[in-house]
Amino acid sequence: MARFPEDHFGNDVEILEKNVSGRKVKVEWDWGNFENTEGFPVDDNLINWAIGQEQALKECFLCLDEWVHKLKWLEKNEWYEGWSKADEKKPSARSVISPGPYLLLLGDPGTGKSLIGRALAEKLTQVYKENGTKLFDALCWKNLALPSQPRISIHKAGEGKKTLHVEQLKEYKRKFTTKIGIKALQSFLLVMGLVLISLGFYFIIQAWLNWNLNADYLGATLQQYYHGNFADYLIERFVGLVPLTFIPGGSLIFFSIMIWWFSRLMGGGGLKGIGGAQQSDVPKLIVDNSSGHAPFVDATGHRSAQLFGSIAWDPYQTGGLGTPEHQRVSAGDVHVASLGILYIDEIKNLDPDEAVTLLTVLEDGQLPVTLRGRLQGGDTAAMAVSTEPVPAITFLVGAGNFDSIGQVHPALMDRIYGYGKVVRMNNDMPNTLENRRKYVQFITQEIKRFNFTPFSREACVEILEEGRRRSNKKDALTTRFRPLISIIKTAATLAMNEGCETVESRHVREAIEQHCKTIQRQILEHDMNERGKLLEITPDGATIGQIHGLAVAKDPYSGEMTGNVLNVKAHMVKKSEMLRNYPLKGYYKVTGVAKGQSFISDSIAKVRSVVLQRYGVDIAQDYLTHIDFSQSYGVDGPSAGVTMTLLLCSLIEGKPVRQDVAVTGEINLGTGNSIQITAVGGVYEKIKAAEAWGFRKVVIPQRNYEHSIDVKDYRIQVVPAATLDDYLRECLVEKPMLKIPSQAYKRRISK
């Protein structure tokens, strides 16, 4: 028998599967008796992490099937043959590669758009292995005939590095041979120079020895012939030796030193350029798919040079002046993501030029790399460099909020509609047993991702209930999971700080109520708290001419809301009962409301018509009517309608309004004898505000109650009401009092 309630997760035993390193592992999980999430199987496959987006995943898989079919057709027609060799002419793109498919995921932040993009890349890897689809590396080669147009070749994944290694070995051998040859020539010249100079000195020494021997020389002794002057003899001998020994020997040594100097300057025979720039014929590996995984490139926020590739030009960035053109080529995201996923979040932020270039990529499936970017290039030679077309067969997955619909470049949006799909992400999912169990899966996934302690069953229920509240529906759960991740992390940290082995429900509640509020909510709550210190609100007793309405304060940028209690007062006097000395026209004024706003203006007009319909009096012609939203300014929205109507009904019928009851709802013109009150927004925040002020009861439209209210979320009584009569029964004290005190008013006027 289950020890826990069955209403959240059921009590059956389910066989769960998870993928671990490509193997499927089955785990039995007892939903009725699990105490915490320890041991819950977490799948390694990211596609199973996307929760509550079944329709979006279905559309994604359709595009994925189309993508695989397209690649099969391309491989069948050997599209890569034109790129297999660098010196071959590249094929015309439009005749080989067809456009599409593309995906545009639109939805609120936190609904899993980027997760789906990454999951598709994982799925592609699996599909490629099953179908034998080949990934490719890309190499950029030096163009000997026209260096400003580097050549491109593609190779099977992993072959690019091998080809690069072979070319590097060739380059190394060439450099080694060159270096050895230069060293040998340098040594030969140095040795020959030293030998010749040595011979010169040898002949000089021989001259000295001959002088001392004073041998016969031209019919006389040597010293007699030169009259005993050794200098004359030495000069004559030296002049004869210099052209034969010292001059050629010195020249050879000089050339040897020059070769040594230039070899150091040029990198020891490596033929380096100025400032260390390497002159090399070795290709550059610009796309590397040796990992075997389908590429996934998150290009969110990337500019033109990063998206589409560029040519480096600044000598301080390229390694020195003289770096060959092909070594300065950098592939863009569209090239790196070829045969994989190119993910661009907030796609509406693409510049028009970038959107048009992206169109070219999507249509052609290829794009040359050239100098890009407004801040690059100037008047440099890099502007003239452009490679051959580089394959860019990308599966585009764009993402954005719903406002992206009108902000994406029209031509790009047209291509997505024509060749792809636009998918709406769900903000919520049905509150079913299956989806409640998926919440446990979501919690466990985040525990594994951040290495936290397990969550107890009760803590999982707290997260589940918060997901229900955030959906703003009674029978739904939010799929905006990112804010819930913050709650999970904070609750786990609180538990670890206390040394708890599991995260308890109190940790989750503390995280929700104290630590995980957005800055907009913090500011709103602070402002409401400070304003509340000045408000004259006493939820007690019964009073004619005063009622408490509920409203919300909303941040215009984030949409965050917090509740607000309004003290509304009214005064009515029949025009016919006024003193004749004061002939006045009837009027109907409402103060404290936003000026020029259609919502509140419509509500004010409808209140007049509803009172006329119910009581047969015109509060603007028969009465002097003034409604004041006390201590308020700029009140707007349709939910003030029922508040004003109830207040006027109280004055007309002479029945006091219960001050411990707060109300909200939109008033509408009636049909027959019924005046309907329709649903309004921000009901959860309004009820919480009334609860905080100490009200005993809140009356809300019945539609709101049926759609989003779970009474266990509140400590205050929440009463549904469908018509104005329902509201009057809940708010007015039945004991009649004097109707509008016109005689007392006359006496005050006369005094």
The CATH code of the domain at 428-521 is 1.10.8.60
Q: How far apart are CA 593 and CA 626, in angstroms?
A: 12
Contacts of 209 (CB under 8 A, 6+ apart): none
State the pLDDT confidence band at 477, using cuts at 50, 70 and 90.
very high
686 in catalytic set: yes
The predicted pLDDT at position 633 comes to: 64
Cα–Cα distance measured from residue 403 to residue 485, given in angstroms and rounded to the nearest whole number: 25
pLDDT at 447 over 90: yes
Strands (E) located in 93-242: 103-106, 136-141, 151-156, 216-217, 220-221
Structural class in CATH, domain 540-750 = alpha beta
Helix spans in 222-266 (H): 222-225, 230-241, 246-265
3-class DSSP state of 724: helix
Residue 475: half-sphere exposure toward Cβ, Cα within 13 Å: 5
Q: Put the strands of the sheet holding 661-663 in their side by side order.
A: 587-591, 623-630, 561-574, 546-554, 661-663, 697-701, 717-721
State residue 93's pLDDT score.
58
- Tokens 């005689």 correspond to 743
3-state helix, strand and coil shares in percent for the chain, rounded to the nearest 5: 45, 20, 35
- Taking residue 575's Cβ as centre, other Cβ atoms within 10 Å add up to 15
Cα–Cα dist 625/604, whole Å: 12
Which residue do the tokens 């950029």 mark?
Answer: 140
What number of other Cβ atoms are within 10 A of residue 499's Cβ?
6
**What local confidence, expressed as pLDDT, does residue 748 receive?**
35
What's the pLDDT at 664? 93
What architecture does CATH give domain 83-158+291-424? 3-Layer(aba) Sandwich (3.40)
Catalytic residue among 639, 655, 688, 708: 639
Residue 728 has a pLDDT of 92
Q: Is 592 left (phi over 0), alpha (psi -120 to 50) or beta?
A: left
Q: pLDDT band for 189, please (50, 70, 90 cuts).
A: confident
What is residue 278's predicted lDDT score, i.e. its pLDDT? Answer: 56
Asked if the model's pLDDT at residue 206 lies above 60, the reply is: yes
Q: What is Dmax (Cα atoms) for the chain?
A: 169
For 192, 281, 552, 708, 730, the CA distances from 682, given in Å and listed in that order, are 98, 68, 7, 10, 21
The pLDDT mean for the chain works out to 82
Strand ranges (DSSP E) for 288-379? 296-298, 310-311, 329-330, 341-344, 366-367
> SS3 for 734?
coil
CB-based burial of residue 17 (10 Å sphere; 0-12 exposed, 13-18 middle, 19+ buried)?
exposed
Alpha carbons 223 and 216: distance in angstroms, whole number: 9
Compute the distance between CA of residue 360 and CA of residue 354 in angstroms, rounded to an integer.
10
Q: Given a cut of 90, is residue 720 above it in pLDDT? A: yes
* 325-334, 574-583, 585-594: least confident range: 574-583
Answer whether 182's CB lies under 8 Å from 258's CB: no
- Global confidence as pTM: 0.74
Residue 455 has pLDDT above 90, yes or no: yes
Q: Kindly state the average pLDDT of the residues 197-214.
A: 78
| The pLDDT value given to residue 557 | 63
User: Which phi and psi (to 5°) does residue 367 adopt?
Assistant: -160, 125
- Please name the residue that has the structure tokens 């708010």: 731
* Structure token digits, residue 350: 């693409």
For the chain, give me the number of helices (H) and strands (E)?
22, 29
Q: Which two tokens stand for residue 69?
A: 């079919």
Which of 280-294, 401-415, 490-504, 579-593 holds the top average pLDDT? 490-504
With both helix axes pointing from N to C terminus, report the angle between 246-265 and 159-213 in degrees, rounded to the nearest 10: 160
> Tokens in use for 437?
């169990």
pLDDT number for residue 123: 83
Phi/psi at 443 (5° precision): -60, -45
Residue found by looking up tokens 């000026």 in the block: 595
Tell whether the model's pLDDT for residue 249 goes beyond 80. Answer: no
CA distances from 554 to 199, 429, 486, 635 (A): 102, 25, 22, 12
For 245-264, give one letter per residue: b (16+ CB within 10 A) or e.
Answer: bbebbeebbeebeebbeebe
* Whether the predicted pLDDT of 463 surpasses 90: yes
- 475 vs 174: which has the higher pLDDT: 475
Nearest alpha carbon to residue 280 among 336, 319, 315, 332: 319
**Between 6 and 689, the higher pLDDT residue:** 689
Q: What is the reported pLDDT for 719?
A: 94
Rounded Cα–Cα distance for residues 644 and 100 (Å) = 57
pLDDT at 377: 46
Question: Which phi and psi angles does 218 have, rounded to 5°?
Answer: 55, 50
Name which of 23-37, 90-104, 345-359 the model is least confident about.
90-104
What is the model's pLDDT at position 698? 95
**Is residue 96 scored above 70 in pLDDT?**
no
Q: Tokens 């016109």 appear where?
A: 742
Structure tokens at 312: 């480096």
pLDDT of 545 strictly over 50: yes
Region for 488 from its dihedrals, namely left if φ exceeds 0, alpha if ψ lies in -120 to 50, beta otherwise: alpha
pLDDT of residue 581: 58
Q: Is 674 a catalytic residue?
A: no
- Specify the higher pLDDT residue, 510 or 313: 510
Rounded Cα distance, 62 and 99, in Å: 16
The CA distances from residue 142 to 153, 164, 270, 659, in Å, are: 11, 13, 17, 86
Does the pLDDT of residue 671 top 60, yes or no? yes
Q: Which of 284, 554, 686, 688 is catalytic?
A: 686
Q: What is the pLDDT confidence band of residue 272, given thresholds at 50, 70 and 90? A: very low
By the 8 A CB rule, do 609 and 669 touch?
yes
- What's the residue count for the chain? 751
Question: Pick the residue with more confidence: 144 or 548?
Answer: 548
Q: Name residues whose C-beta falls within 8 Å of residue 84's C-beta, 6 or more positions apart in sequence.
A: 153, 154, 155
Mean pLDDT of 461-466: 93
Least confident piece of the model among 562-566, 606-610, 641-645: 562-566
Q: Pseudo-torsion of CA 179, 181, 186, 192, nearest 10°?
A: 160
Cβ atoms of residues 31 and 14 within 8 Å? yes
pLDDT at 490 over 90: yes
SS3 label, residue 245? coil
Q: Does position 338 have pLDDT exceeding 60, yes or no?
A: yes
Is the dihedral angle over the CA atoms 311, 317, 323, 327 positive or is it negative? negative
